[in-house]
Structures are given as C-alpha cells and as structure tokens.
C-alpha cells in the first residue's frame, strides 16, 4: 500500500470519527433545577452552589491517596496569571475563561 493511500485512509477515518463524536456530544442544557441541585461532578457556576460553599462531594481523592496525584495534562496559553478563576464543568465538559480575552 502506498504512502498516499495510507494517508487517505487515515484522514477518512479521522473525519468519520470526528463527525460521529460531534453528533454524540451536544453540550448539556443547564436548567434552574440543575443549578439548584448540581450532580456531584458538575460545577455549573462559580463556587459550585448558590450558598457559595465551594465543597466537592466527590470521594475519589482522599487524604490517603492525594500524594499519588500527578499532572494529567497542561496547556500553555502564554497568558501570565490569566487563568485564576473557577472552571465550569458540565457533565465532563470543562470551560475556562481568562481575563483580558
């Protein structure tokens, strides 16, 4: 198989995968009910809840395993001190804003 055929096949597979992924991952609607009672992994507003507690009910990270955490990903935007806000998380979709943009 030639290099060009392999490249075409990989491009087609990538395109189909992206189309299927785009069709299946619509951004979930944020309703008043969801804001009042967010699911455990969601941070739909700053400080997570209307009372501003900032508490996470998730149990996966504990005092016994926190030392085993490691960096999973990073992204350099070349903006110094621009990402010092709370990310919004809606069923796994992370939204980060920054000052000056």
pLDDT for res 93: 87
The alpha carbon of 27 is separated from its chain's Cα centroid by a whole number of angstroms, namely: 11
| Average pLDDT estimate for 37-60 | 92
DSSP 48: S
pLDDT tens for each residue of 15-28: 656 655 555 568 88
CA distance 57 to 49: 12
Q: Which of 3-7, 32-36, 83-87, 94-98 has the lowest mean pLDDT?
A: 3-7
CA distance 64 to 32: 36
pLDDT tens for each residue of 57-73: 999 999 999 999 999 98
**DSSP helix/strand/coil, 38:** coil
């Amino acid at each position: 198989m030639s290099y060009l055929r392999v490249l075409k096949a990989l491009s087609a597979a990538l395109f189909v995968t992206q189309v299927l992924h785009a069709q299946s991952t619509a951004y979930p609607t944020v309703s008043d009910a969801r804001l009042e009672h967010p699911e455990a992994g969601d941070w739909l507003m700053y400080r997570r809840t209307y009372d501003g507690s900032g508490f996470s009910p998730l149990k996966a990270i504990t005092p016994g395993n926190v030392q085993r955490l490691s960096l999973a990903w990073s992204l350099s935007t070349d903006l110094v001190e621009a990402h010092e806000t709370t990310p919004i998380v809606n069923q796994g979709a992370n939204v980060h804003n920054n000052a000056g943009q």
